[in-house]
Amino acid sequence: MSHYLQHLEHVKGRFDHALQGSDFDAVLIAAGQPAVAFLDDNAYPYRVNPLFKYWLPITASPKSFIYYRSGEKPRLFLYQARDFWHSTPKLPPGEWQEGFDVTLIDNVETVVQALGKQVSNTAFLGEVHAPIDSWGLAALNPESMIHSIHFHRAIKTEWELQNMRKANVLAARGHNAARDAFYAGKSELEIHAAYLAAMKCRETETPYNSIIALNQNGAILHYDVYDADAPAEHRSFLIDAGAYYNGYCADITRSYAAKDGFYGDLVAAVDAAELAIIKKVKPGVSYYDLHVEMHRMIAQILADFGFFKVNAETIFERGYTRPFFPHGLGHYIGLQVHDVGGYLKSDDGTSYERDATHPFLRLRRELEAGQVFTIEPGIYVIDQLLEEFDGNEDFNWQRIAELRPYGGVRIEDSVVVTADGYENITRDAFASLS
């Protein structure tokens, strides 16, 4: 059996488990549909329901549905509009067609007509809108079922891992082109265009807005403005940009110095720390513990580079790392960039409590083989976060001011937990292109 068909059996098993613990006989999963802008007739870019593309690699066919009853072959209601204004989405060829009974539809009401009385015992998963809300379904997005599926989605199948490896190769190709554009003195907008061209995709075909930040803009964690004009001087470049393959995500960050010196040395130090923390990845380790250990490493870097007048242990104990490294160490990744289930203790929805010390950490679970997550430490000069420490003599404000024109540093890879360690699929992707 192929990796995809094995994956499909795995997904069916996870939905069987969710249905067994519910009051429902079946589930109906909607692909979703584009939302139209207010007082306009143009739609926002369409994003498929992640629970739909979990079943099969169809990401551009809105108004389609999957119906699944335990023990039966899933049914795919594939929407193909009778429309001379737009092109019909191209369906990916392949063995997914073996796994479904396919019915072509050009009206979504065909779905409820085909299912008949079965809808009254069917749970719906997806965006709720007319006419779905009038179909008489048993439940709309029941939390118990969503918790169960989200918890188990953290463990990836081999088919999912293959897609994520390929997504990382695509993104790495774009990153290399963006790096070259930076060294050629291009603007943020031109660098972004180079990134997309290298991957041969449109901006709407990436999993999130790329962060293309020159100089001080690297201190804005989700910067996506893209200045059209190049700055007078290129000092630094931070790029956080991803790619899709069969609906699965890559999420990579790299930082570059325009020339050797202080900032380039800081990039090298953060890169070394990122690789060092990844070496600790193995089953049974707490991701929270990795996050805390990363703060200790950041404290050492801050001390080594003279950002403080106190030692690394004091920097850590007094919480001084947090304004420089305010976000979490990383997050699950898969069908979504920030994939789900990071705080679930079990499939019944029991969750870890949020830690007030590290409120932006997205992942608290213990590591298990098959999980995929990012590791993304950073150091930034964010004036808003430094305000509360104004006048604190432990800080070397002159040294901090030297970093401000460079913004910050972040390095990010995606890591698979294996039976005895890890696989760094991002570094492997870059290596495959060298």
Annotated binding-site ranges: 240, 251, 331, 376, 412
Q: How many angstroms separate the CA atoms of 188 and 105, rounded?
A: 43
Q: Which residues contact 363 (CB under 8 A, 6 or more apart)?
A: 287, 288, 328, 329, 330, 331, 332, 342, 343, 373
In terms of Cβ atoms closer than 10 Å to its own Cβ (0-12, 13-18, 19+), residue 419 is: exposed
Q: How many angstroms separate the CA atoms of 50 and 278, rounded?
A: 28
Q: CA–CA distance from 229 to each of 185, 187, 210, 213, 224 (Å)?
A: 10, 5, 17, 13, 14
- The count of C-alpha atoms lying within 13 angstroms of the C-alpha of 271, restricted to the half-sphere facing its C-beta, is 14
Beta strands in 167-326 (DSSP E): 211-214, 236-245, 248-257
Annotated binding site for Mn(2+): 240, 251, 331, 376, 412
Cis peptide before 89 (omega within 30 of 0): no
Structure tokens at 83: 């429309």
Phi, psi of 102 (to 5 degrees): -105, 130
- The count of C-alpha atoms lying within 13 angstroms of the C-alpha of 236, restricted to the half-sphere facing its C-beta, is 26
Contact 100, 56 (CB under 8 A): yes
Q: CA–CA distance from 142 to each of 22, 123, 184, 186 (Å)?
A: 9, 7, 52, 49
Return the closest-CA partner of residue 200 out of 174, 221, 230, 225. 174
CA angle 66, 68, 72 (to 5 degrees): 130
Q: How many angstroms separate the CA atoms of 280 and 258, rounded?
A: 31
Contact 241, 205 (CB under 8 A): no
Q: How many angstroms separate the CA atoms of 213 and 378, rounded?
A: 14
Structure tokens at 139: 């439940």
Structure tokens at 258: 């325009």
Contact 397, 427 (CB under 8 A): no
